[in-house]
């Protein structure tokens, strides 16, 4: 998909104000089919690569060059660059499945700067645990800094909460500091999404000592 200058200005303004913007029908079905098949193969070969989340597989680009290409030069990259106003710094590509009730990602922000994309591989709706965003929360970081993806926080009645229903091929571009979450899947069928993070090295501000401590903490958490 190409974005004309009128649309680009609208998308940029929504991204700046709301902290996210959805573009419908962005990825064609043959590409979706390839992502689904290749991601499933990575999951088969390395289950539980998402640490504490059993339904998240990170680092797809390390297992399959196809994901490395998508992360670095997928058709979403120039659009994200236009939205961010600077070159996205690729971090990792991930596969988010959701087939069970307990597989929830609670409200959280991912990083302070950069960009993220999430592509729907299936229909995503309230029943099967679609994404939700807290509109404009990227501009009020302090207020939400306590949130953690693994800890339940009910923001469903928050006046800025927005439910993002998506069809396969729809993409959402968002700021990593826009609060987002996905609820339980009550549908009995799988809800899959493909995500790319562009936050560079999220630990670049840490000292070597802090990096080692963090690595240890993560290993303990995923053990």
Instruction: Kindly list the residues in this chain that would bind ligand AKG in the complex (CB under 6 A).
Output: 96, 98, 105, 110, 116, 118, 180, 182, 193, 195
**Nearest distance from C-beta of residue 210 to ligand AKG, angstroms:** 23
**Nearest distance from C-beta of residue 108 to ligand AKG, angstroms:** 7
Task: Name the residue with tokens 């993806």.
Answer: 149
**Nearest distance from C-beta of residue 97 to ligand AKG, angstroms:** 8
The distance in angstroms from the start CA to the end CA of the chain is 42
**Nearest distance from C-beta of residue 105 to ligand AKG, angstroms:** 4
**Nearest distance from C-beta of residue 99 to ligand AKG, angstroms:** 11
Joined tokens for residue 72: 């670095």
**Nearest distance from C-beta of residue 191 to ligand AKG, angstroms:** 8
Residue 22 vs 105, nearer CB to ligand AKG: 105
Residue 150 vs 210, nearer CB to ligand AKG: 150
> Are the C-beta atoms of 122 and 191 separated by less than 8 Å?
yes
Under DSSP, the state recorded for 124 is B
Which residues neighbour 119 within 8 Å (Cβ) at sequence distance 6 or greater? 26, 27, 32, 35, 76, 169, 170, 171, 193, 194, 195
Using alpha carbons, select from 197, 147, 172 the residue that is nearest to residue 19: 172
Residue 18 vs 110, nearer CB to ligand AKG: 110
Residue 110 vs 170, nearer CB to ligand AKG: 110
Residue 61 vs 110, nearer CB to ligand AKG: 110
> Are the C-beta atoms of 141 and 191 separated by less than 8 Å?
no
Using alpha carbons, select from 51, 28, 56 the residue that is nearest to residue 193: 56
d(C-alpha 181, C-alpha 163), whole Å: 10
Residue 8 vs 187, nearer CB to ligand AKG: 187
């Amino acid at each position: 998909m190409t974005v004309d200058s009128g649309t680009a200005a609208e998308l940029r303004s929504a991204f700046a104000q709301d902290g996210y913007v959805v573009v419908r029908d962005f990825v064609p079905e043959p590409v979706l089919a390839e992502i689904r098949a290749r991601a499933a193969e990575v999951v088969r070969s390395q289950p539980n690569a998402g640490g504490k989340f059993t339904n998240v597989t990170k680092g797809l680009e390390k297992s399959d060059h196809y994901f490395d290409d998508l992360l670095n030069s997928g058709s979403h990259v120039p659009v994200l660059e236009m939205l961010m106003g600077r070159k996205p710094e690729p971090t990792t590509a991930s596969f988010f499945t959701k087939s069970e009730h307990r597989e929830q990602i609670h409200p959280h922000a991912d990083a302070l700067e950069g960009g993220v994309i999430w592509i729907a591989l299936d229909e995503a709706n309230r029943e099967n645990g679609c994404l939700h965003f807290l509109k404009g929360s990227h501009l009020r970081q302090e207020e939400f800094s306590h949130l953690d993806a693994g800890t339940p926080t009910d923001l469903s009645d928050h006046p800025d909460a927005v439910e993002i229903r998506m069809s396969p091929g729809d993409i959402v571009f968002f700021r990593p500091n826009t609060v987002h979450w996905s609820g339980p899947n009550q549908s009995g069928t799988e809800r899959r999404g493909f995500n790319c993070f562009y936050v560079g090295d999220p630990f670049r501000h840490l000292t070597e000592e802090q990096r080692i401590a963090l690595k240890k903490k993560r290993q303990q958490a995923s053990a």
